[in-house]
Amino acid sequence: EVQLVQSGAEVKKPGESLRISCKGSEYSFATYWIGWVRQMPGKGLEWMGIIYPGDSDTRYSPSFQGRVTISADKSISTAYLHWSSLKASDTAMYYCARTSGSYSNWFDPWGQGTLVTVSS
């Protein structure tokens, strides 16, 4: 079964850095795009960006460009989402999800989500 498993919940202070992870299994990780989606408390889904682990080609939503960094290590089938300086407004659930092949496509499967809480 194709699966994405994300790292655990994080509690951080404003200004701190953070990297969360998403590990794929049971498929060729390098050959499928992995996207990141934010869901703020009680709100809808927002596409943040996407990476092709095979060559680390990365695209960002204009809303998130410069605020986060997406990376991947295909040798360990893991994608990452990184913040250099967190804000309280980064408090949200973050999901990774695999596209069905091409860059702009539907997402399936999804990781279980990583809850990030930023509070002083």
Partner 1 sequence: DIQMTQSPSSLSASVGDRVTITCRASQGISNSLAWYQQKPGKAPKLLLYAASRLESGVPSRFSGSGSGTDYTLTISSLQPEDFATYYCQQYYSTSITFGQGTRLEIK
CB of 112 to partner 1, least distance (A): 6
Q: List interacting residues with partner 1 (CB under 8 A).
A: 35, 44-47, 50, 59, 61-62, 95, 97, 100, 103-113
Among residues 26 and 120, whose Cβ is nearest to partner 1?
26
Among residues 3 and 17, whose Cβ is nearest to partner 1?
3
CB of 92 to partner 1, least distance (A): 14
Instruction: Give CA–CA dist 66/48, Å, rounded.
Output: 11
- The answer to whether residues 77 and 23 touch, using CB atoms and an 8 Å cutoff, is yes
DSSP-derived secondary structure for 45-82: EEEEEEEETTTTEEEE-TTTBTTBEEEEEGGGTEEEEE
